[in-house]
Amino acid sequence: MTPSRAWIVGATLLLAPELGALLQFVAGTLPVGEAVVAATDRIPVLLSRETIPNRGTFVPGNGWQGTFLGLSPAKAWGLRVGLIYLYGAVLLYWLWRGYLLYRNRYRTASWTPFDDIVRRFRGHRWGQFGLIVVLAFLILAVFAPALGPTTLDRNVIDPYSHELEYYDDGTGDVETVTVGAANIDSTSQGIDDRNVGPLTYDQYDRFHPFGTLPSGQDLFTQVALGARVSLFIGLVAITISGVVATGLALISAYYGGRIDLGIVLVSDATQSLPQLLVVILLSVVLSQTWIAGLYSGGVLLALIFALTGWPSLWRAVRGPALQVSERTWVDAADSYGLAPRVTMRRHILPYIIGYLLVYASMSLGGIIIGVSGLSFLGLGISPPTPEWGRLVNVGQPLLTTVSWHIAVIPGVLIVIVVTAFNALGDGIRDAIDAETDLDNEEEATAAASGAGG
């Protein structure tokens, strides 16, 4: 078997057990029908809540009943989370192995500029920190249904249609109660006898990694699913604005003159408007339209952020595009008779992609903050779809009480994720900049001279 076929077989074996989870992620983030979502939910998944259940009942003398291997709900949940992140790490490693295999065996060129970019990034600790946190965030969003100790349907949407069993010390028997009734008895209200904090159980033997909300709903489940919402809005907005910015940068750099001036005027006019006020205004004005119903308003927010965010990306890549358009090989391509779109695609686009990635990663963090801010104000994503900013808003009145976790945990996660995207952007920027090698050589030379002196 050739190395390429061996890699394909390995990738297939890795993807097959969790294909259902990937399809569930796609169906859960795209505005598809409920029938499609229900169909993907029926696809068996290896690392699912059904395979490693964390819901059980503690019976004195018999231990935990119904959990995976009789483990406590906390240990069963921790095992499932650990295996999911281990699976994600193995999958990412296998993709890296695929790149190395292609570079060493199948790529015609022995060296490309991308090799130096990878080498410089591997020495950038701040950028690596950002990459690790961003990948952890992506795994949280993709595998959110399996990572949560319960489901959105049981926890939020229809809790009174689901039941759970628990051991009643008063009767000495296993009793049944609806999830909605159990939530009422598991609220976090800011007082000692009405609080379920992080890493604790409620009176119904349910484990809550991040504690509960004032409604009694599990906080971790909402945080995990809220990560999916933020990721969807950010990726859609960045993709649309990135495509628009790149296309306009290529056109303005290649044609210049009045076309470039016209794009500059449109960009300046768009940037002169206060982005936050425009986003709030459009969110309110379009809140009753059909597009506001797609993904609980997520599609509308993504389009609004794309509409208001493309000028900053365009300005970031316009300068590099103008520099490349003045190179001799672009003039040679024109003299050879290549069509303008071919010249832009082959000879200008590859040199601005790196800059686009840098500023796109930084802009993605800004979009996450923007979406969270709108949800904090009661705009944007409509309930019951979870969103981090709304969780901070719910917990704000309880910030100085024993129920501090409601606002602090989502708020800290927002800060960490946004910082990680900025760190990743810094790492990519320094990796693309060839002068980084020169600076490092100068520092090494200066250090050696100082040591010798």
CB 44 within 8 A of CB 20: yes
Of the listed ranges 135-144, 155-164, 244-253, 373-382, the least confidently predicted one is 373-382
Residue 418 has pLDDT above 80, yes or no: yes
What pLDDT score was predicted for residue 64?
A: 93
Of the listed ranges 89-93, 159-163, 252-256, 437-441, the least confidently predicted one is 437-441
What pLDDT score was predicted for residue 52?
A: 93
The secondary element (H helix, E strand) that includes residue 178 is: strand 173-178
| CA 131 – CA 388 distance, rounded (Å) | 21
Range list of H helices, 16-72: 19-29, 34-41
Residue 349 has pLDDT above 90, yes or no: no
| CA 115 – CA 352 distance, rounded (Å) | 17
What pLDDT score was predicted for residue 379?
A: 83
- 117 by Cβ neighbours in 10 Å (0-12 / 13-18 / 19+) ranks as middle
Range list of H helices, 123-256: 125-142, 144-147, 152, 179-184, 219-255
Mean pLDDT computed over 230-258: 92
One-letter amino acid at 249 equals A
Of the listed ranges 220-234, 236-250, 328-342, 356-370, the least confidently predicted one is 328-342
Residues in the chain: 453
| CA 312 – CA 302 distance, rounded (Å) | 16
Q: Which two tokens stand for residue 26?
A: 């796609």
Structural domains of the chain in order of their starting residue, each with its CATH number:
3-50+67-110 (no CATH), 154-208 (no CATH), 219-436 (1.10.3720.10)
pLDDT band of residue 449 (cuts 50, 70, 90) is low
pLDDT band of residue 324 (cuts 50, 70, 90) is confident
What pLDDT score was predicted for residue 443?
A: 54
Claim: this prediction has a pTM higher than 0.85: yes
What pLDDT score was predicted for residue 43?
A: 73
